[in-house]
Amino acid sequence: MNDAKFRALLDAEEKVESTDWMPEEYRQTLIRQIAQHAHSEIIGMQPEGNWISRAPSLRRKAILIAKVQDEAGHGLYLYSAAETLGVNRDQLMELLHSGKQKYSSIFNYPTLSWADMGAIGWLVDGAAITNQVMLKRCSYGPYARAMVKICLEESFHQRQGYEIMLTLCNGSAEQKAMAQDSLDRWWWPSLMMFGPHDSESTHTEQSMEWKIKRVSNDELRQQFVDMTVPQADYLGLQIPDPDLAWNEERGHYDFGPIDWDEFWAVVKGHGPMNRDRIEHKRKAWDDGAWVRQAAAVSSAVAVSA
Amino acid sequence: MTYSVPQVAGEAESKVTGTETNGVWPLWEVFIRQKRGLAHVHAGSLHAPDADSALLAARDVYTRRVEGVSIWVVASTDIVASDPDEAPAFFEAIEKPYRHATHYDIPDEVGQM
């Protein structure tokens, strides 16, 4: 009975809301995915936070602060969406700190130059947008609604990144080389953001059946490549893939094989920054203990006054 | 016709203070979800002795014409509101145009971004 009702909602392209009955596996899948998404926004503040104090101008610094602030906000919208499924935020934070829940592996790469602020906005946020535009059509209402707001804000993120790349590419030879180096380092990890091939992806089929995910990993990756190649051309930069070529027959770009050994190594914790990211997150949480304590005391005083 | 009826002898003083709350049922704010997938939006308020009654009253007052699929009622006293005079402290960004996507000049050639 319940299951038939749930099924009917999905079939009618209606949203499932938090008060509706839902299969336990659907709920668990969403908790896992939304928590990972939230954790990614929060950990994703670190690679860019690394450059705030070294931004090349006051304008770029203000922009970068605004972007990192947005990411904190995105994390909070997403934790709230996860909480509608009956988990609490501290629980999720603990799962992140203990490594029992993951975040996107892209944030386990270091940001070595200012150009990385450009490449991250352009490529990493570009890939995130490709994924998140799809998630606006997710069957779970609170998650889909969070995506609407996030996508709007991500557009600023991507455009400011591309503008940094454009500025560097119109600058000195050294600046253009810096942009190229950054593209060389971020291109493949950005393609990995879409996850394993459809044939290898254990979650895709069920998620698509539940309409949590609407487009497969490989299709999203192809969309991203098709969109990004002309943008790289305009910058006069070379995408680091000798196999990249327009395929007239398919109407898409062909691209070379992804190094899945690297992908799995980073997922399993062996990327260049995995340990630092979590250590930094834990330290920030521990260092903030006195703030949480003070807030609790202060509100207790306000209530009793 | 006019809604301004002349005052005649025996009519009560026209001053009404409205500060008397003894025995008045508490106020509830009503939010309606128009359809699945959309957020609950404020529809209005009403007085009711308790939450369950407020929900029933909301049905009578606000949803007589298939306005939606779900209702929330929230005690008005539980709502904490910002002061409109302090709007600048709560809504900045007018002086921060760089927070908007349109602030960045992206050449048409590179497509939608």
In tens, the pLDDT along B11-58 reads: 766 566 555 555 678 899 999 999 999 999 999 888 998 999 999 999
CB contact under 8 A, B37 and A231: no
Closest Cα partner for A44 from A107, A109, A122, A138?
A107
Q: Is the pLDDT of residue B93 over 70?
A: no
Res. A202 pLDDT band, cuts 50 70 90: confident
Contacts of B94 in chain A (CB under 8 A): none
Contact A159 B104 (CB under 8 A): yes
Q: Which amino acid is at B50?
A: D
Q: Which residues of A touch B106 (CB under 8 A)?
A: 159, 162-163
Chain A residues within 8 A of B98 when measuring between CB atoms: 59, 62-63, 66, 156, 160
Please indicate if any CB of chain B lies within 8 Å of the CB of A304. no
How far away is chain B from the Cα of A107, in angstroms, using its nearest Cα? 22
Q: Which of A141, A155, A159 sits opposite B37 (nearest CB)?
A: A141
C-alpha–C-alpha distance, residues A143 and A150, integer Å: 11
Residue A31 pLDDT greater than 90, yes or no: yes
Distance of alpha carbon A277 from alpha carbon A162, whole angstroms = 25
pLDDT per position as a tens digit, B45-92: 889 989 999 999 999 888 888 899 999 999 999 999 888 888 888 887
What pLDDT is recorded for position A209? 95
**Which two structure tokens, joined as six digits, stand for A250?**
């398919």
pLDDT tens digit string along A185-200?
999 999 999 999 999 8
To the nearest 10 degrees (0 to 180), the angle between helices A24-43 and A89-97 is: 70
pLDDT band for A36, please (50, 70, 90 cuts). very high
Contact B107 A126 (CB under 8 A): no
pLDDT band at B97 (very low <50, low <70, confident <90, very high): confident
Q: How close A227 comes to chain B (CA, Å)? A: 8
Mean pLDDT within B84-106: 83
β-pair type (A245-247, B27-33): unpaired
Give the 3-state DSSP-derived string for chain A, with helices as H, strands as E and coil as C.
Answer: CHHHHHHHHHHCCCCECCCCCCCHHHHHHHHHHHHHHHHHHHHCHHHHHHHHCCCCCHHHHHHHHHHHHHHHHHHHHHHHHHHCCCCCHHHHHHHHHCCCCCCCHHHHCCCCCCHHHHHHHHHHHHHHHHHHHHHCCCCEHHHHHHHHHHHHHHHHHHHHHHHHHHHHHCCCHHHHHHHHHHHHHHHHHHHHCCCCCCCCCCCHHHHHHCCCCCCCHHHHHHHHHHHHHHHHHHHCCCCCCCCCEEECCCCEEECCCCCHHHHHHHHHHHCCCHHHHHHHHHHHHHHCHHHHHHHHHHHHHHHHC
**Residue B104 burial by CB count (10 A; 0-12/13-18/19+): exposed, middle or buried?**
buried
Chain A CB contacts of B33 under 8 Å are 17
Nearest CA in chain B to A67: B99
Query: Which of A114, A10, A137, A97 is CA-nearest to residue A60?
Result: A114
- Nearest-by-Cβ selection for A163 from B33, B96, B104: B104
Q: pLDDT tens across A51-69, in order?
A: 999 999 999 999 999 999 9
Tokens of A199: 């044939």
B103 in contact with A at a CB cutoff of 8 Å? yes
Task: Collect all residues of chain B within an 8 Å Cβ-Cβ radius of residue A230.
Answer: 109-111
The Cα–Cα gap between A244 and A232 comes to 12
Residue carrying the six token digits 């990993």: A217
A121 has a chain B CB within 8 A of its CB = no
**Which helix (DSSP H) or strand (DSSP E) does residue B58 occupy?**
helix B51-62
Residue A15, classified by CB atoms within 10 Å of its CB into exposed (0-12), middle (13-18) or buried (19+), is: buried
B98 close to A (CB below 8 A): yes
- Give ipTM to 2 decimals: 0.71
Whose CA is closest to A37, among A145, A117, A143? A143
pTM tops 0.90: no
Q: Is B3 helix (H, G, I), strand (E, B) or coil?
A: coil
Beta bridge partners of A264: none
Calculate how close chain B gets to A163, using CA atoms only, in Å. Answer: 7
* Structure confidence at residue B87 (pLDDT): 82
Rounded percentage of chain A residues whose pLDDT exceeds 70? 100
Closest CA to A229 of B5, B109, B21, B76: B109
Query: Is B82's Cβ below 8 Å from some Cβ in A?
Result: no
pLDDT value of residue B111: 86
Distance CA B99, CA A157 (A): 9
User: How buried is B97 (Cβ within 10 angstroms: 0-12 exposed, 13-18 middle, 19+ buried)?
Assistant: exposed
d(CA A199, CA B87): 53
Instruction: Count A/B contacts: CB-CB distance under 8 Å.
Output: 60
